[in-house]
Amino acid sequence: MSAEAKLRERICHCGASLFRRGLTFGSTGNVSVSLPDGGWLMTPTNASLGELDPAELSRIDAGGRHVSGGKPTKEAFLHRVMYRERETCGAVVHLHSTHSVAVSCLHGLDPHDCLPPITAYYVMRVGRLPLVPYHPPGDESLALAVEKLANRHHAVLLANHGPVVAGTSLDTAMHATEELEETAKLFLLLRGSSIRPLDAGQVEELRRRFPS
Ligand SMILES: [Zn+2]
C-alpha cells in the first residue's frame, strides 16, 4: 500500500473513531493531512466523519487546486492558514465538539488563553488557547483572524463555533484536540468550584521540559 493510501485509510479510521465517541456529529468537523509533494488530503464537504470513503477524500495539490475526490470542506481555509503559517504542520483537526463549543460561548473568557492550566497534559498538548472572535463560518474574515494567531498557536478556539488544532502528524493533532475537549469538559464540571490550577512556576517548568 502506498504512503498516500495508508494516510487515506488513517484519516477514515480517525474520523470514525471521533464520530463513534461523540466528538463530532452530523456532517460537522473536518480533518486534513499534508502530503510529501506539498499537497493535502482533506475531508470532503457535507461528509459525515463517521462514514468517510478513502477514495472520496479531497486531494488538493501544492498550489491549492482541487485535483480529485469530493469537493473540499467549505472550512478548508481554516486548514490552509495553519499549513501556511506553521512550517511543522502535518495535520489539522477542526471539530464542533460539545464541551469546547460550550466554553467558546461563555462570557468573560481570557481571549489570550481561554482555559486554565488544570492538568499537566493540557499544558503539554494544547498550551495557550486564544479565542478567535466570532465570524460567520466560511467568511474570509474568519480566515484572517485565525491567520493572525496561527504562527504562535497550534490550537485556537473559534467563538461560538469550536476548536482548530494543528499537529506535526494526524495522531498529534487528534490527541491535542481530544485533550482540549476533555479539559473543556473538566472546566465546565468544575465551574462554581474553587479551582486550584497549576501555578505559573509549574506551567513554566512543563513548557521548558516539553516545548511544543
Ligand atoms: Zn466549523
195 CA distance to ligand 1 middle (Å):
30
In this prediction, the residues of the chain whose per-residue pLDDT falls under 70 are 212
Q: pLDDT by residue (tens digit) across 29-61?
A: 999 999 999 999 999 999 999 999 999 999 999
pLDDT value at residue 30:
96
46 CA distance to ligand 1 middle (Å):
12
pLDDT value at residue 73:
87
**Which one, of 19, 2, 8, lies nearest residue 59 by Cα?**
8
Residue with cell 512550517: 87
86 CA distance to ligand 1 middle (Å):
20
Largest CA distance in the chain: 53
3-class SS at 135?
coil
pLDDT value at residue 137:
87
The answer to whether 134 is a known catalytic residue is no
**Which one, of 68, 35, 29, lies nearest residue 52 by Cα?**
29
**Which one, of 50, 89, 30, 42, lies nearest residue 70 by Cα?**
42
CATH code 3.40.50.880 for 3-209: no
pLDDT value at residue 95:
97
The answer to whether 178 is a known catalytic residue is no
182 CA distance to ligand 1 middle (Å):
19
pTM, 2 dp = 0.95
Catalytic residue, candidates 9, 83, 87, 121? 121
3-class SS at 89?
coil
